Amino acid sequence: MVYYISIALIGVGIYGLISQKNLFKHLVSLSIIDTGVNIFLISIGYVEGKEAPIYSIFTPTENFVDPLPQALVLTAIVIGVGILALGAVLVVRVKEKYGTLNVEEMKDVRR
């Protein structure tokens, strides 16, 4: 079930990138794709009957799931937030320079 939700999020994000001409909406679509990919990676790393890899004296180590997907997703979240912040700054700069966020209107202004 979670696989379908993540694939739907990725699909919605791709549709937003293709159908919208507004740069801010492109940024939101990229964020939706990022969230879908992160959910997909977390769902792949889930193993039923296993526990989170938090070591204690009372927990046997053979019941742990692989911590690599979790670490990968945490890194991807940090990188995604950084890219989103950079994209927001660029969108503000484009709005200041061209007065619009519509890609089609920017092509006309540039000529």
What's the Cα-to-Cα distance from 35 to each of 61, 79, 95, rounded to whole Å?
30, 12, 26
Residue 60 has phi, psi (to 5 degrees) of -70, 140
> Is a pLDDT exceeding 90 seen at residue 91?
yes
Cβ neighbours for 2, distance < 8 A, ≥ 6 positions apart: 39, 43
Supply the range of the domain harboring residue 74.
2-110
CATH number at residue 65: 1.10.287.3510
Query: How far is 3 from 44, CA to CA, in rounded Å?
Result: 8
Task: Look at 43 and 14; give whichever has higher pLDDT.
Answer: 14
What mean pLDDT value characterizes the chain?
89
The total number of structural domains in the chain stands at 1
> What is the reported pLDDT for 110?
60
Residues 15-63: pLDDT tens digits?
A: 999 999 999 999 999 999 999 999 999 998 888 877 777 776 776 677 7
